[in-house]
Structures are given as structure tokens and as C-alpha cells.
Amino acid sequence: MAENRMTRELETRAVQERPKQWMPPELLPEPDKAPGYKYRWVRTSTLNSADPRNISAKLREGWEPVTLEEQPKFRLLADPQSRFKDNIEIGGLLLCKTPIEFVEQRNEYVDKQTQAQTEAVDNNLMRQNDPRMPLFKERKSGTSFGKGV
């Protein structure tokens, strides 16, 4: 009876795993994250036409190009014809980093700008409101409990 049983080596999980499937490659590889930094790919060119205005704006915002020494796994992927020597540029995009504090400060600034614009639009719209024909009608619903019969 013991002869019909499978050997223990054939019952391992490695044999029972489903075969791996091919997946398309990522367009941009994910960098190894350093603590305290946020990473972003910044456009340096579009359709082989340089975009100095965009890269200049990002550098003034506090984004710093990442060097090949910081991310050695990108050595084979980096563009050898890049204008940014010793940095990581792939397909017209330059890998940059900035401290997380800068990102949080920028997000707070944008949130304040958005809030101010929203309030301005609401105030302008409510100025045109007429009680005889309100633009917005507050709808309130209530629940009441009656006495059982």
C-alpha cells in the first residue's frame, strides 16, 4: 500500500506553486527610498526638445537631482547621452529628491490657495443669490417619533 504514495520531496510547496507569468516592464523603475526624502521624476525634455523652464522651476522648488552613486542599480538604465552627467535620466525624465518637509509645506500652501479660491467663488455666487429665487435651497430632513396606538 505504501508504494502508491508520493515521495515527500514531491509534496513541497515549490512544486505546487503556479507558474510565473510574464508582465510588461515598468516604464520608470522605483528608486530605493532614503528616509526623510520624497522622490519624483522631473521632465527635462519632450519629443527630444529640451524643457529648461520646467527643470529650472523644479530645481528652484527644492528638488535635487539624484546621483548614480546614491542609486547604483540605475547605472545600466541611465541615458549615456544625458545633459545631466552622473545623474539618473531616463527617457527625458530626471530622478530628483527633496526633503519630506518641503513636500508637506508645498501641500499646505496649495491647500490654502485652493481654499481661498473656493471661498472667492462661493462668495461671488452667493452675492447673486436672491431670496425670492434662491440658488441653493437648504434641505433639512427630520425624524419624528410618534406615539404608538
Write down the pLDDT at residue 23: 80
Q: Tell me the pTM.
A: 0.64
User: Exposed, middle or buried: residue 67 (CB in 10 Å: 0-12, 13-18, 19+)?
Assistant: middle
Residue 75 scores a pLDDT above 80: yes
Instruction: Give me Rg for the CA atoms of the chain.
Output: 29
Q: Binning pLDDT at 50, 70 and 90, where does residue 26 land? A: confident
Spatial distance between the Cα atoms of 36 and 51, rounded to a whole number of angstroms = 28
* Domain regions of the chain by residue span: 37-99
